[in-house]
């Protein structure tokens, strides 16, 4: 009796079973147990402002809800601001400082020229200082704003250890360039760079998931299009990008995640599996043997991505932090207190006046 020809249904079952077995082998490798919380740096605390400014987190969240209702794109801007602050000289709000006679600021370094969100941070600072006095650092405001940017755009909510102090100086241009991986870096370069900051491959892939929201200028990826197209890029995706960026020096922008550009989810990893990652630093995570399976595990399991992202973010938010009596609590996030005596005097007068009125 001749063997029956395989039906479409049979083939479908075979493919499905292969996919499911692949999924479970990946999940077993990357989700064998819940991730432990990273240790907290001495001087930071989960309840740092419980007495001095108990409403700080609600003030920030309520204000950002208003901001994002008008422009959800600001969520990605604030998240990026936190990344660029922490990777360079630690999470000390040095990225917020304006330049001075000593030289150009971190803001003026090429990777930071497109940073946004500075006014939002200073508005938050003004609201918090009005409610509590000058007790909350700009560095903590940036960290909390990044967390709420993730949550309010659909991502996980998580606790942030607090107690950072603001730095007294900004990094040089060279230091900024050395510590911020370029969008055209490959995965091996990024893994080596972030390993010096104690991030493992899972941390690196999870943090890269921040690109699930936001936009990019053409200059960050046109070398993948011109003069010849990057072979790792999907043909239709490349054609559409050429429509947005018709020349190598185009100044237009496009979204980082074509599937859900304003929602914090795991679709960024689905993009990578479909060869639709925008930057070399994104797409190469799916090409590199050390990170490919992690990308796949996050693409098929959003909860796993969220879990690993939180662990990596809490770890990143504690990089080289200043605590205790080091650093300062800036009265104006863009200027050191020593260079801002007139502003400080007005703050002191306002605080004294508020105290007098409350006692009266």
Q: Active site includes 84?
A: yes
Instruction: Give me the residues paired with residue 328 across strands.
Output: 166
Packed helices 138-152 and 118-132: angle between N→C axes, nearest 10 degrees: 110
- Tokens 């079973």 locate to 17
Contact partners, residue 234, CB within 8 Å, separation at least 6: 274, 275, 276
Longest dimension (CA), the chain: 102
Q: Which two tokens stand for residue 315?
A: 């770890």
Phi-psi region of 204 (alpha: psi -120 to 50; beta: other; left: phi over 0): alpha
Residues 261, 284 contacting (CB under 8 angstroms): no
Q: ∠ CA(116), CA(120), CA(125), 5° rounding?
A: 130
Q: What is the DSSP string of 186-255?
A: -HHHHHHHHHTTT--HHHHHHHHGGGGS-EEEGGGTGGGTSSS--TTS-HHHHHHHHHH--STT---EEE
Instruction: Give me the residues paired with residue 45 across strands.
Output: 162
Reduced to 3 states (helix: H, G, I; strand: E, B; else coil), residue 118 is: helix
Catalytic residue among 84, 129, 211, 217: 84
- What is d(CA 359, CA 354) in angstroms, rounded to the nearest whole number? 9
Residues 88, 106 contacting (CB under 8 angstroms): yes
Instruction: Give me the residues paired with residue 80 across strands.
Output: none
CB atoms within 10 A of CB 355: 11
Choose among 166, 169, 197, 198: nearest CA to 323: 166
Residues 281, 183 contacting (CB under 8 angstroms): yes
Catalytic amino acids? 84
């Amino acid at each position: 009796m001749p063997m029956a020809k395989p039906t479409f249904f049979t083939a479908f079952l075979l493919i499905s079973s292969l996919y499911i077995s692949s999924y479970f082998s990946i999940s077993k490798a990357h989700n064998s147990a819940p991730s432990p919380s990273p240790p907290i740096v001495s001087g930071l605390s989960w309840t740092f402002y419980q007495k001095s400014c108990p409403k700080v987190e609600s003030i920030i969240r309520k204000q950002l809800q208003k901001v994002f209702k008008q422009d959800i794109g600001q969520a990605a801007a604030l998240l990026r601001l936190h990344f660029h602050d922490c990777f360079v000289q630690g999470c000390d709000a040095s990225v917020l400082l304006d330049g001075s006679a000593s030289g150009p600021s971190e803001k003026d370094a090429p990777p930071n020229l497109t940073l946004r969100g500075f006014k939002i941070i200073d508005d938050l600072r003004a609201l918090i200082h009005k409610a509590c006095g000058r007790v909350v650092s700009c560095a903590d405001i940036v960290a909390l704003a990044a967390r709420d940017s993730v949550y309010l755009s659909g991502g996980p909510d998580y606790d942030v250890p607090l107690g950072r102090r603001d730095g007294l100086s900004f990094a040089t241009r060279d230091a900024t360039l050395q510590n911020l991986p370029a969008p055209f870096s490959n995965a091996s370069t990024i893994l080596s760079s972030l390993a010096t900051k104690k991030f493992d491959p899972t941390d690196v892939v999870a943090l890269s998931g921040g690109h699930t929201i936001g936009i990019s200028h053409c200059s960050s990826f046109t070398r993948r299009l011109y003069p010849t197209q990057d072979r790792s890029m999907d043909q239709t995706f490349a054609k559409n990008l050429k429509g947005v960026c018709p020349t190598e020096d185009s100044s237009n922008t496009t979204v980082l995640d074509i599937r859900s550009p304003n929602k914090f989810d795991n679709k960024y990893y689905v993009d990578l599996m479909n060869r639709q990652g925008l930057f070399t630093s994104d797409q190469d995570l799916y090409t590199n043997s050390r990170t490919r399976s992690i990308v796949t595990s996050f693409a098929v399991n959003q909860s796993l991505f969220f879990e690993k992202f939180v662990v990596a973010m809490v770890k990143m938010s504690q990089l080289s932090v200043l605590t205790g009596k080091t650093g300062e609590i800036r009265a104006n996030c863009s200027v050191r207190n020593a260079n801002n005596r007139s502003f400080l005097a007005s703050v002191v007068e306002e605080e004294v006046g508020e105290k007098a009125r409350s006692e009266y």
